[in-house]
Structures are given as structure tokens and as C-alpha cells.
Structure 1
Amino acid sequence: MDLADWFKGFEKGITKLPEAQRETFFRECGKNCVQCGTLQIYKDLYEQAKGDMDDFFSKANELPGVRCDIVKKGSVYDLYFMECTCGLHKQGYVTTPLLCECSKQSILYVLHSLWVNRTFRVTICESILRGDQDCKMQIETIDDNGNS
């Protein structure tokens, strides 16, 4: 069996999962992926920013292939990726935009690893796999009442 054929079944399978199950599935994928190197980059930024979220996202704006906008100081940020760096997509195995849930979950994992006592919401606003120019994730800090 060709690996590309196997991934066609994978895409069909994740399409049939309810959203909550896809989130759970991709949470482990995203966590595993980000632990392979990207997490350390963000940990270094966190240390440079001394935990200040606005400074962190300003510094992340300097990373290659990344753009960040502070939408609302201290609570809302837009994080852009100029290209899809997922190996499964780059190698042509997976093309479904549902794969972007993995990126969303990896961002949540990074944020919770850095700011352990904060709650976040990440929303996929744009996606290269959906046909957009870049990937845009909106990150919101959430208070105890569910507000950003």
C-alpha cells in the first residue's frame, strides 16, 4: 500500500469525527509536533519577554515566516504563518483544512506551557489549506467569566 493512499483514508476518517473528537485527536498530534523543536523557540521568546504577553508577541513578529498583531493589549493577538510548515501537507499526504486543528492545538499547548495559570481561546481565522494567502490564528486570553 502506498502511504498516500493510507492518508486518503485518514482524511475521510477525520472528516467523520465530531469537532470535539477532532480537537482531542489533534491535541496529541499538535503537542507531539511542537515538542520537536518549536516549543523551545517560544520558551526562549517568553524568557526574553520576561513573561509579558505583549512583548512576547512583538518578539514573535521577528521570527521568520511569522507575523503578529496586537489587537487588544494584554488579551487579543493575531498570529500569522506565511506558509504551511506541516510535513504531512508539504509532502502532499494531507490537503484537508481540518489538519489546521493540529496547528491550533499546538498553539494552545505552547501558550499553556508558558502561561500555566492563564486560559486561552485560539480561533482559526484563515488557512492556507482553505485557500487563504496565509494562516491566521486569533489568540484571546480568557478570564474566569469566559471573556477576553
Structure 2
Amino acid sequence: MANEWERFNQTFFKTLECGIEKLPQSEQEKLYRPCAVSCVQNYVLNEQQRQFNECGGDLDLQYEKYGRSEFFFAHIVERGRVYEIGYPRCLCPAVEAGLASAPVHCECSRQSILYVLNTLLPEKKIRVELMHTVLSGAQECRFRVTVE
């Protein structure tokens, strides 16, 4: 029975991902945003806020001090403006559970980064571009962040 339920869930997620891939980017963003917020709302956001506050609200200083761990990396491309951030491996529980497998699912990570950075820098315009992810065949998940 457990294997049957796993197969059902995998098929269900695959069907959803195939449908989401066909939607315009703006609709994909709307679908993944609530999941992204829920995923990072507690621990990730709180830790990022703690680090940001400790570094006096300076994202460059935060990334210099905390930009390398087993779960997260951050590189300063242009101080105060452009960063490349990401994860050395896919950290998504839905991927780890074998449910999500399509690269479109990485919109959730992009939305989580947007949510965290918009919370830290509410007066700034934040753009997050997906560069590559594990689900698209890369060794890591990397996003380019532009702060204006």
C-alpha cells in the first residue's frame, strides 16, 4: 500500500509540474510563492534577519561573514548591487522525497530568495534570476540577485 501511495504522489506531482511548465512565468510565480514563503518563513528568514541585523543591515558584510556553509553560498559580484547566491545541493523536501523533479519547481527557490530579500530590504527593488539548478542538471543551485 505504501508503494502504491508513493507512485500516486509521484504521478500527481509530475502531472502538476507538466501543467505548471506550460503556464506563463507570472502564473508560475503566483503558484510557487505561497509554498516558498511557507518554507522559509520560520528558520531561514529568522536566521537571515539575525545575520543581517548583526551586520548592521549590510548585505555585503553579511555575505562576507556568512556566505559559505554546507547549505548556502553567496558571492559578491558588484558590491551593494549584484550577488550570486545559492545552495551547494538541492535542499527542497519535495525533491528529497522524490515528489518534485522538474526544473520548473525551482521557481519555488527563486520565490523564497525574493521573499527573504524583500523582507530584509523592503525599500529596494530586488530581481532574482535563476542561473542553473540541480533539477536542470547542474551540480548546484545558483541565482543572480540584483538590488536596485
In the superposition, the TM-score normalised over structure 1's length comes to 0.90
Paired position in structure 1 for 2:19? 13
User: Gaps (5+ residues) in structure 2?
Assistant: none
The correspondence of residues 1-148 of structure 1 with structure 2, limited to 5 A, is 2-142=8-148
Matched AA of 2:74: C
Amino acid at match of 1:88: A
RMSD over aligned CA atoms reads 1.3
Tell me the alpha carbon deviations over residues 62-93 of structure 1, each in whole angstroms, 9 at most, x when there is no partner: 33332211100110111131010101111111
Task: Compute the displacement of 1:97 (Å).
Answer: 0.5
Q: Which amino acid aligns with 1:26?
A: Y
SS of the aligned residue for 2:57 comes to: coil
Identity of aligned residues (%): 32
Structure 1: which 5+ runs fail to align? 143-148
* 49-58 or 61-70, larger mean C-alpha shift: 61-70
Q: Equivalents in 2 of 1:45, 1:107: separation in Å?
A: 15
Secondary structure (helix, strand or coil) at the match of 2:89 reads coil
Task: Give the helix-richer structure, 1 or 2.
Answer: 2
- Is the 8 Å Cα contact of residues 29 and 111 (structure 2) preserved in structure 1? yes
TM-superposed CA distance for 1:37, in Å, is: 1.6
Mapped partners of 1:38, 1:100: distance in 2: 17
Contact 1:120 1:139 in 2 (8 A): yes
Amino acid at match of 1:104: R
